[in-house]
Structure 1
Amino acid sequence: MSTFKAPKGTFDLIPPYSATYLAVRDAISGPLRRSGYGYVETPGFEDVNLFARGVGESTDIVTKEMYTLTTKGGSELALRPEGTASVLRAALEASLHKQGNLPVKLWYSGSYYRYERPQKGRYRHFSQVGAEAIGAEDPALDAELIILADQAYRSLGLRNFRILLNSLGDKECRPVYREVLQGFLRGLDLDEETRRRIEINPLRVLDDKRAEVQKQLVGAPSLADHLCDACKAYHSEVRALLTAAGVAFEDDEKLVRGLDYYTRTTFEFVHDGLGSQSAVGGGGRYDGLSEMIGGPALPSVGWALGVDRTVLALEAEGIELDIPPATSVFAVPLGEEARRVLFGLVTELRKAGVATDFGYGAKSLKSHMKNAHRSGARYALVAGERDLAEGLVQLKDMETGEQEPIALDRVVEELRAKSA
């Protein structure tokens, strides 16, 4: 065994378990690909200031959880802790917003990194699929993204998730609420770090999960009571569009999300089968983020769904995805001539689109057939010297146990028809 292990708080994805992760990524991205979202991929690390400015200096992500490094040239970089700031930076750098046809609709998939206390459902390296719609302020866009995430989860068979929804107001009404909230929070008995947060980003205090803090927040001024008419109308339209689409949601006044850049619509997907780490994904509108990172005003909305958390949600509901075997046909050669002939057939079958594997190494028929069973293949293609002399191979159905001879020149055609 290797003396090296995966770093603490990380994990390797290996077959056959990894196939579930691929299926989940496909299921989440499927509705996006069918709705005008193009794929974007960004580097695993960025200038540290992109996240300090974009995610927010007061967030735990930036103050405690970011992996930072200094390059040999003296540049300060950070492993990306989330996807939105990177995707928006890439869109701005490529001037996608200047090519007309706003919003720019993008989806992405990748690994993200946060230095956290490792526990089930919360690792230091995690995988997300996300979507961003950049450059348009329209309640229909907010609703579209929530509906597409709902569709993705339902396509996986998930049922026991809830969508929490809130509005955080905008640059007109949020400052007024912020002041009222600060006045209320300053009168509470809170620790020093939380008191510091009151001055930097008081809405984050509402998100504090500690029971002793939540007890004191009873009677806190409500953001809904301080929304301006424009924000109320916008939120009402998002809610109406979701309801018309048959997407159930719960209004949650305390939902603020953990990033500083959100405005107006904010939402979270939670699954009650996951214990304390119940959030499986979330997002919202971030109308001021582009300006925060040096771009023009580009109102935008997006979300990220955790692949790891979604897999845990599937396990919690006892859902096993129907993942077809990676191999349809397994070729078993008996003897040198058979190795040469069958290897050629394997190459032809693969070219014809039939997933095929080969019995490597000088093994007995019994050993080869064990490997054929382990591969999950429906058919085994077996040939020895006598078969080849007659221009045949034996085709064995691994489910029924039935075996039939097939002419060598008919193998590709027959198996392509059976695998279709």
Structure 2
Amino acid sequence: MFQPKNYLACWEKEESDNMKIPGSFFEVLLKLKDELIEFQVLKQGSIEYRAHIIDFSEIEADLADILEENDIFLPQNRLDRILRDLEAEYLEVQQKQRELQKQHLQKQKSFTQSYQALRSPNEVVKILLTGFSGKSSIYQIIFEGKLANEIQTTLPTRRIEKHILDFSFLAKQNRGQKLEIWESGSFFPDDSFFQDATVLLFVIDSFDVDHYEEMRLDLHKSVKKMNEMGTNPQYLPKNRKTLFCLIHKMDRFQKILEKFRSLVNYFQIDPSTGKPNREIVFYPTSIFDSSLYKAWTQIIETLMPKSSKLDQLSNQLKEDLALYTVLIIEKRTGLPICSSKTLLDDATLVGTTNRIIITIEKILPDYKFTNLRELRIDTATGFVKVHIFNEYYILLMICPPNVNLDAPAAKRIIRNFIANMKNYI
């Protein structure tokens, strides 16, 4: 039990180096974890609260909140003494942090120099969007935030169109670059289209049975052109897949998975050799579900893998709040920035979340609202909490039903997590 509010608590240093408040079950400590300074509050040995600290003022604010929430009163002179002791320990841990970071930087120096020599943050990667019916619709769904009913009257593309996706906002993660998407019309493009391209996205109209053979011929002809004239940037691993085929309009079939497997078996066969080409990765897609986002998420991750450092922070948030899953998504591009360890599929979560956010933002003006900030969806087995920060970043938390994200401690943990994210992205 906690002592009454007028109880005069004092600060003690335990042999374990934890600082304890007598008369309560609470201890606090500072530790270095994954090169980050972590402030922990323990109750009978179990962690009740933790936060990654960037500045000592955060410890002062967190400590004041903890004392107030638990009715622990300290005279100002004793509180000042506690803060002095904590600040001294903070400076010691901070020095160790700098030493570890220096060692890490030295180990990575040679790799960083060679990496930067191979790849500039402003490098343009050429992606080809070609094939048959559905290319413009795919682009508008993924990158322009349109809904399926808004693109039904899209006119066929008559020429080569170019679109630029700027990822320079990820420069802090050394992931910043530009993607240049070349979209062809309803014709087989000339060699300049394939020159120096890195990724092929070939679209097949699964419902156009009369043109199956023509589509298969063009698919494998495009693959050959990519192998002859395309380029694989040196920063990409040699085994990274860059040839993709979207088998589109799959919503028109009843047994989608069975039909998809059948079509893959057919389109995988190279007519010139009679053998399957295992280089091509196939995805079933439709504008009426999340499959397009799922496919794009997996494709873009081949070029821009998630940050392991941010994955660690996401996993820590998941553990601190006992969540099912944590995921950060860049809203404009559908790029998953980081995620916690989970049995769920990141690409599916990205697709579903983007569809929900886009749909809600479309109807907000009907209620005279703008700028969606938070969203909660409750179910019988848990709930989904979405928080949008820095305008374009989506924090997705999938939670068990008993988790209380409105508790002061939970709010502090989420606030600190977002503050850490802002320092990296």
> Fold-level match, TM-score > 0.5?
no
TM-score interval, smaller chain: under 0.3
Higher relative contact order by CA 8 Å / sep ≥ 6: 1 or 2? 1
TM-score by length of 2: 0.22
